[in-house]
């Protein structure tokens, strides 16, 4: 709290405003890259799509959210919401989050590799988190936290059930080669469907 108050005082009197703004920008940029915010999301398809399913589930469901929690911690405990939202960086998150939703969803729809499709879907979900975070420090952050909670459970389940559907199809990962996997493993298919609908 003392650090937050000191930062707020510096911001209010205009002293060191440029270094403060640069700090906010650099920290935000680093976290945006690590968490996969558009346009830094392209690594996700290769990483999540090629890793073993348990790793993909942990990376997409938990690890990427750790960076966002760190950002929230910095915003609320170091810079303060008045300074952070006053800097206008939240508007950048709002805009990039919206683009992440659009382009992540387009990437998922166009993809014919089941694991890469789930990875692009994660990019879209990260977009939702930043989009809500950019709206406001109250309702927006609550919505962002809800999405983090939801995604942390559903995305690992999607990767694991994708693996099961692939396994019962001889290890195939392309949609044309896993046709009928739902009949071969009805339970995994049902869980996949429920989790996919929960993402929507």
Instruction: Tell me the CA distances in angstroms from 189 to 66, 153, 179, 195, one per residue in order.
Output: 29, 17, 12, 10
> 88: left (phi > 0), else alpha (psi -120 to 50), else beta?
left
What 8-17 contacts at long range (C-beta under 8 Å, 24+ apart), as own/partner pairs, is 8/80, 8/82, 8/83, 11/82, 11/83, 11/86
Per the model's pLDDT, the better-predicted residue between 88 and 199 turns out to be 88
Rounded Cα distance, 128 and 134, in Å:
10
> What pLDDT is recorded for position 40?
86
Q: In the Cβ-directed half-sphere of 29, how many Cα atoms lie within 13 Å? A: 6
**pLDDT for residue 10 is more than 70:** yes
Phi, psi of 174, rounded to the nearest 5 degrees:
-85, 145
How many residues are present in the chain? 200
Q: What mean pLDDT comes out for the span 77-99?
A: 88
Instruction: Using a pLDDT cut of 70, give the percent of the chain over it.
Output: 100
- pLDDT-based confidence at residue 185 (cuts at 50, 70, 90): confident
Q: Find the mean pLDDT for residues 42-68.
A: 79
pLDDT digits (tens, 9 = 90+) for 71-83: 888 888 888 888 8
pLDDT given at position 165? 86
Give the phi and the psi of residue 56 in degrees, each rounded to 5: -60, -40
What is the mean predicted confidence (pLDDT) over 151-165?
Answer: 85
Cα distance between residue 138 and residue 167, in whole Å? 44
Q: Taking the mean position of all CA atoms in its chain, how far away is CA 110?
A: 19
DSSP code string of 70-135 = HHHHHIIIII-HHHHHHHTHHHHHHHHHHHHHHHHHHHHHH--BHHHHHHHHHHHHHHHHHHHHHH
Buried b (16+ CB within 10 A) or exposed e, 68-103: beebbebbeebbbbebbbbbebbebbbebbbbbbeb
Higher-scoring residue by pLDDT: 69, 15: 69
pTM: 0.84
For residue 136, name the pLDDT band (cuts at 50, 70, 90).
Answer: confident
């Amino acid at each position: 709290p003392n650090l937050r108050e000191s930062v707020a005082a510096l911001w209010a009197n205009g002293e060191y405003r440029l270094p403060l703004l640069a700090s906010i920008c650099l920290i935000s940029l680093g976290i945006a890259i690590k968490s996969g915010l558009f346009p830094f999301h392209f690594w996700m398809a290769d990483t999540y799509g090629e890793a073993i399913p348990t790793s993909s589930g942990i990376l997409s469901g938990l690890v990427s959210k750790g960076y966002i929690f760190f950002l929230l911690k910095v915003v609320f405990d170091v810079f303060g919401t008045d300074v952070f939202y006053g800097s206008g960086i939240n508007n950048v998150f709002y805009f990039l989050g919206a683009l992440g939703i659009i382009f992540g969803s387009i990437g998922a729809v166009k993809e014919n590799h089941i694991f890469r499709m789930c990875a692009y879907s994660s990019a879209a979900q990260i977009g939702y988190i930043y989009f809500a975070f950019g709206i406001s420090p109250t309702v927006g952050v609550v919505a962002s936290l809800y999405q983090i909670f939801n995604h942390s459970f559903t995305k690992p389940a999607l990767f694991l059930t994708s693996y099961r559907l692939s396994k019962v199809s001889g290890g195939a990962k392309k949609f044309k080669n896993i046709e009928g996997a739902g009949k071969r493993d009805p339970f995994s298919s049902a869980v996949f469907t429920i989790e996919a609908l929960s993402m929507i």
